[in-house]
Amino acid sequence: MLSVVMAIHDTASGQTLINRFVTRPVAALFLFLHVASRSLMPHKNPSELSRSGSNPLSRLIFASRWLQLPLYLGLILAQGVYVFQFWKELVHLIEAAFGNQHALDILVQSIGYKSNAPVTGLNETVIMLVVLGLIDVVMISNLLIMVIVGGYETFVSRLNLEGHPDQPEWLDHVNASVLKVKLATAIIGISSIHLLKTFINAENYSDKVLLWQTVIHVAFLFSAIAIATADRIMHPVPAAPHGGAGH
C-alpha cells in the first residue's frame, strides 16, 4: 500500500490528487481551528499564558469544540423540516374539516388509521390521532431546541443571554448532567405520545407491537430514573442550614 502511494505521489497527477483531497482539507481544518482559538480566546501576556498552560496545542484542542458548530446548524435545519411538516399536517386537517376528501385520505394514510367502512369524514379517532401527531412534532421540536441551545451553551460557547427577557429559565443552570435529565424526560414524553396513539388505534396493531412499545416505554422510564438518580448521587443537594439553638 505504501509503495502504491509513493508511486502515485511521484507523478504530477498524483501530487495534484493528494494536494486536492488530503493536503488542502487538512490545512484548511488546522487553519480554521487556529483562527478560532486566536480570535475567541482572551488575549494574555506571556506570563499569564505560561501560568495557565495555554500552549498552542492546548488552544488547538480547545478550539476543536467548534467542529460541533455544523452539527448544531444541521439540527436547526432539521427544526425547519419539522415546522414544514407541522404546517402541512395542520393544513390537511383544516381542509378535511371543510370536506376535502383528498386531504382526509392523506391524513388517514399518514396516521395509519384503518376502518372496515370507508372514511368519508373526520371522526373523533382521526382528529385525536392527527392532533397527537401534531403534539408529537412539537415535543420533538422542543427536544431539538434543548439539544441545540443547551448543547451549544454547554459544549461550544456561551450564548451570553444574561438579562435577556426571552432567556429560557432552564438555561440558567444548564450543564451536562441537567441536560441529560431533561433530554431523558423529553424522550419519555415523546414515547408517551407514541404509545397513546398506538392504544387509540390499537385494532390496527398486533399484540406483539403493543407489547414491545409498552416495554420500550417502560425501559425509557427506568433509564430516566437511573440517570436522575445517578445525577442526584453525584451532585447531592446541600442540606438547608438549621435555625438557631432555640429552634
- pLDDT for position 93: 92
- pLDDT for position 21: 46
What's the CA gap between 223 and 215, in Å, rounded?
12
User: Are the beta carbons of 63 and 156 closer than 8 angstroms?
Assistant: no
- pLDDT for position 2: 40
pTM beyond 0.95, yes or no: no
- pLDDT for position 7: 44
Q: Which helix (H) or strand (E) holds 211?
A: helix 207-234
Cα–Cα distances (Å) from 9 to 12, 13, 20, 26, 63, in that order, read 7, 8, 12, 17, 32
End-to-end, the C-alpha distance of the chain in Å comes to 80
pLDDT tens for the 247 residues of the chain, in order? 444 444 444 444 445 444 554 455 555 555 555 555 454 444 445 444 444 556 888 888 888 889 989 999 999 999 999 999 999 999 999 998 998 888 888 888 888 777 777 777 788 888 888 898 899 899 889 889 888 888 888 888 888 777 777 777 767 667 777 778 888 888 888 898 888 888 888 887 888 888 999 999 999 999 988 888 887 887 676 655 555 444 4
Cα–Cα distances (Å) from 36 to 43, 59, 129, 177, in that order, read 13, 9, 48, 27
What's the CA gap between 32 and 63, in Å, rounded?
9
DSSP string for 62-112: HHGGGGGHHHHHHHHHHHHHHHHHHHHHHHHHHHHHTT-HHHHHHHHHHHT
- pLDDT for position 9: 46
The amino acid present at 3, given as its one-letter code, is S
- pLDDT for position 28: 55
- pLDDT for position 54: 63
